[in-house]
C-alpha cells in the first residue's frame, strides 16, 4: 500500500499543470460506479410499483432514511439541499470504503478532496446566512462588538479547515496504519490481522467520519440560516 | 504505464508523488475535485435522488389523501349511524305509543264488552226469573185446578155413594155460601 499520491499524467493548459493523480483516478472510478448505479436505478424506477419490494424497497429506504436524517439535523426548510448532501454523503462513504479494494487509494486521504468539499460547505454557509438573515448575518461578525471581528472571522474560517482536516487526518492515519501493518506482519498472517484492522480503519472510521462531516456541514448551514431560532 | 498529455506546452517528466503540499497544484486539485463532485451531484440528483423522492412524495400524498377520504367516510358513516339510531329511537317511541294506544283501546273494549255482557246476562237472568215465576204460577194454578178437579171427582163419587138428595143439596148450598163468603172477603 502506497502512502503517497502518485501522479499518472499531467495535463498542461498554458502555464497551468493539472496532475492526474491516484485520487483523480479513484474519483473517476467512484463517479463511474455511482453514475452507473444511478442510471440502473433510473431505469428500474420506471417499473417501480405502488407497494415496494426487493430492490425498490432498499432504494426507497435509503432515500427516506437520508431525508429523515437531513430533516432532523438541518430542519425541514433545508430539504432542498438534500440533493447536495446526499451526494456528499454517498461520495465520502464510498471513498472511505474504497480503501478495502486492493490497489485503490481512498480519495478522502487526499487533502484536496476534503478541503474542496469543506470549501463548498463554507460557501453554502455564507450564502444561506445572507439569504435568510441578510444584514443580521453580516452584523453577527462584529458581535458583541467591533473588536471581535478578527476572532469571529478566524472562527468562521476555522470551520472548513477543521472539517477538511478531520476527515483527511482520519483517513490518512488509517492509510498509514494499514501500510505499516502490511509492511510489518509476516506473510502467513497477512490476510488475518489486516482484515480486522480494515474493518476498523476503513469501515468503522469511514462510516463515522462520513456521518460527522455531513452532520457538521448540515448543522453549520442551518445554523447560519438561524432556522433553529424560528 | 504513466503518460503525459500535452494540450499546450510540453511537460518533460512526471512530477514526484507526495502526500500533502500547499502550492498552486493543491488549488488546481481542489477545483478539479470539486467540479467532479458537483458533476456527480448533478447525475445522482437527476437519476437517483429526485425520482425516488418524487415517488415517495407522491405515495405520501396519495396515502394522506386516502386517509383523509377514509376519515371523511368514517365521519359520514358515523353520521348515518347516528341518523339510523335516531330513527330507530323514533320508531321505538312510535311503537310504544301505538302499543299503548292499542292496550288502552283493548282495555276499553274489554271493559265495554264485559259490561255489555254483564248487562245482557242480567237481562237474560231477569227474563228467565220472570219466565220461571210465570211458569211456576201457571204450574201452581194447574196443580190447584187438578187438585180441585180430582177432589171434586172424588167428592162427587163419594157423595154419589154416601149422601142422598137432601144432604147433597144442603152441602151444595153450604159450599156455595162458603165460597160466596170467601169471595166477598177477598
Question: Does B176 score more than 90 pLDDT?
Answer: no
Four-point Cα dihedral A33, B49, A97, A17, nearest 10: 60
**B88 in a structural domain:** yes
pLDDT at B96: 94
B175, part of any domain: no
Looking at CA atoms only, how far is residue A33 from chain B in angstroms?
11
Which residues in chain A are closer than 8 Å to B51, comparing Cβ atoms?
41-42, 45
CB-CB under 8 Å, B33 with A42: no
Looking at per-residue pLDDT, the higher value among A86 and A188 belongs to A86
Which residues are CB-neighbours of A130 under 8 A, at least 6 positions away? A137, A138
Whether residue A229 is predicted with pLDDT greater than 80 in this model: the reply is: no
B173 within a domain of the structure (yes/no): no
Residues on chain A touching B33 (C-beta within 8 angstroms) = 23-24, 27, 107, 110, 112-113, 116
Gyration radius (Cα) of chain A, Å: 21
B48 contacts in A (CB within 8 Å)?
37-38, 41-42, 59, 63
Inside any domain, residue B166:
no
Q: CB under 8 Å, gap of 24 or more: what pairs does B21-27 form?
A: B24/A16, B25/A17, B25/A19, B26/A111, B26/A112, B26/A115
pLDDT at site A230: 45
Quote the CA–CA distance of A25 and A7 in Å, as a whole number: 10
Cα–Cα dist A45/A58, whole Å: 12
Distance CA B27, CA A18 (A): 10
pLDDT tens string A2-43: 788 988 888 888 788 888 999 999 999 999 999 999 999 999
Mean pLDDT of chain A: 90
Chain A, nearest residue to B2 by Cα? A8
| For testing contact with chain B, the best of A58, A87, A122 (most B CBs within 10 A) | A87
Do A211 and A90 form a contact (C-beta atoms < 8 A)? no
pLDDT at residue B5 in the model: 63
HSE-CB for A165 with a 13 A CA cutoff: 6
Residues of B in contact with A82 (CB under 8 A): 49, 53
Interchain contact B56–A (C-beta under 8 A): yes
- pLDDT tens per residue across span A37-53: 999 999 988 888 888 88
The three three-digit cell numbers of residue A22, written as one number: 491516484
Q: How many domains does chain B have?
A: 1
Interface check B33 vs A, CB under 8 A: yes
* Residues β-bridged to residue A10: A19
pLDDT at residue number B185: 63
> What distance in Å separates the CA atoms of residue A33 and residue A20, rounded to the nearest whole number?
19
Range of the domain at B111: 2-157
CA distance A106 to A23: 7
CB-based burial label for A210 (10 Å; 0-12, 13-18, 19+): buried
Q: Is the pLDDT of residue B111 over 50?
A: yes
Does residue B165 belong to any structural domain of this protein?
no
Task: Specify which residues A13 forms β-bridges with.
Answer: A16
Q: Chain B residue closest to A164 (CA)?
A: B30
Note whether B28 contacts A: Cβ–Cβ < 8 A.
yes
Residue B54, min C-alpha distance to chain A (Å): 10
Within-domain flag for B51:
yes
Query: Which of B4, B45, B48 has the CB atom closest to A9's CB atom?
Result: B4
Interface of B with A in 147-186 (CB under 8 A): none
**Is the predicted pLDDT of residue A181 greater than 70, yes or no?**
yes
Give the three cell numbers for residue A152. 469571529
Q: Do B30 and A115 touch (CB under 8 A)?
A: yes
Residue A13 has a pLDDT of: 80
In a domain, B183, yes or no: no
- Three-state secondary-structure class, residue A9: strand
Please tell me the distance in Å from A156's CA to the nearest CA on chain B.
Answer: 20
User: What residue in B sits closest to A117 (Cα-Cα)?
Assistant: B34
Residue B174 lies in a domain: no
The predicted-structure confidence for A182-208, as pLDDT tens digits, reads as follows 888 887 777 777 888 888 988 999 999
Contact at CB, A60 and B56, closer than 8 angstroms: yes
Pairwise CA distance, residues A225 & A76, whole Å: 12
CA–CA min distance A159, chain B (Å): 17
Amino acid at each position: 500500500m502506497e502512502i503517497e499520491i502518485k501522479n499518472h499524467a499531467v495535463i498542461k493548459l498554458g502555464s497551468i499543470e493539472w496532475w492526474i493523480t491516484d485520487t483523480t483516478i479513484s474519483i473517476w472510478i467512484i463517479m463511474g460506479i455511482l453514475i452507473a448505479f444511478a442510471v440502473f436505478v433510473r431505469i428500474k424506477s420506471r417499473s417501480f410499483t405502488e407497494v415496494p419490494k426487493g430492490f425498490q424497497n432498499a432504494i426507497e429506504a435509503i432515500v427516506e432514511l437520508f431525508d429523515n436524517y437531513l430533516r432532523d439535523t438541518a430542519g425541514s426548510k433545508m430539504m432542498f439541499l438534500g440533493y447536495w448532501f446526499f451526494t456528499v454523503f454517498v461520495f465520502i462513504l464510498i471513498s472511505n470504503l474504497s480503501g478495502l479494494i486492493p490497489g485503490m487509494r481512498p480519495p478522502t486521504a487526499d487533502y484536496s478532496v476534503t478541503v474542496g468539499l469543506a470549501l463548498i460547505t463554507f460557501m453554502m454557509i455564507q450564502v444561506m446566512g445572507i439569504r435568510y438573515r441578510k444584514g443580521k448575518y453580516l452584523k453577527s461578525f462584529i458581535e458583541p462588538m467591533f473588536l471581535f471581528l478578527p476572532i469571529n472571522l478566524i472562527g468562521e474560517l476555522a470551520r472548513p479547515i477543521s472539517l477538511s482536516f478531520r476527515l483527511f487526518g482520519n483517513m490518512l492515519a488509517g492509510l498509514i496504519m494499514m501500510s505499516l501493518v502490511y509492511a510489518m506482519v509476516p506473510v502467513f498472517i497477512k490476510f488475518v490481522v489486516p482484515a480486522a484492522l480494515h474493518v476498523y480503519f476503513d469501515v468503522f472510521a469511514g462510516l463515522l467520519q462520513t456521518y460527522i462531516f455531513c452532520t457538521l456541514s448540515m448543522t453549520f448551514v442551518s445554523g447560519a440560516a438561524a432556522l433553529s431560532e424560528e | 504505464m504513466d503518460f503525459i498529455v500535452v494540450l499546450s506546452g510540453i511537460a518533460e517528466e512526471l512530477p514526484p508523488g507526495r502526500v500533502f503540499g500547499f502550492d498552486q497544484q493543491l488549488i488546481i486539485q481542489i477545483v478539479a475535485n470539486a467540479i467532479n463532485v458537483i458533476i456527480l451531484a448533478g447525475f445522482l440528483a437527476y437519476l437517483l435522488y429526485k425520482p425516488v423522492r418524487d415517488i415517495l412524495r407522491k405515495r405520501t400524498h396519495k396515502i394522506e389523501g386516502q386517509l383523509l377520504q377514509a376519515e371523511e367516510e368514517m365521519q359520514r358513516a358515523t353520521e348515518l349511524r347516528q341518523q339510523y339510531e335516531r330513527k330507530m329511537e323514533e320508531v321505538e317511541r312510535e311503537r310504544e305509543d301505538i302499543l299503548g294506544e292499542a292496550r288502552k283501546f283493548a282495555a276499553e273494549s274489554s271493559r265495554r264488552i264485559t259490561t255489555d255482557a254483564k248487562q245482557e246476562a242480567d237481562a237474560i237472568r231477569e227474563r228467565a226469573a220472570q219466565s220461571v215465576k210465570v211458569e211456576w204460577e201457571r204450574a201452581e194454578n194447574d196443580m190447584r185446578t187438578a187438585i180441585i178437579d180430582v177432589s171434586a171427582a172424588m167428592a162427587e163419587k163419594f157423595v154419589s155413594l154416601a149422601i142422598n138428595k137432601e144432604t147433597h143439596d144442603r152441602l151444595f148450598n153450604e159450599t156455595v155460601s162458603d165460597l160466596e163468603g170467601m169471595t166477598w172477603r177477598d
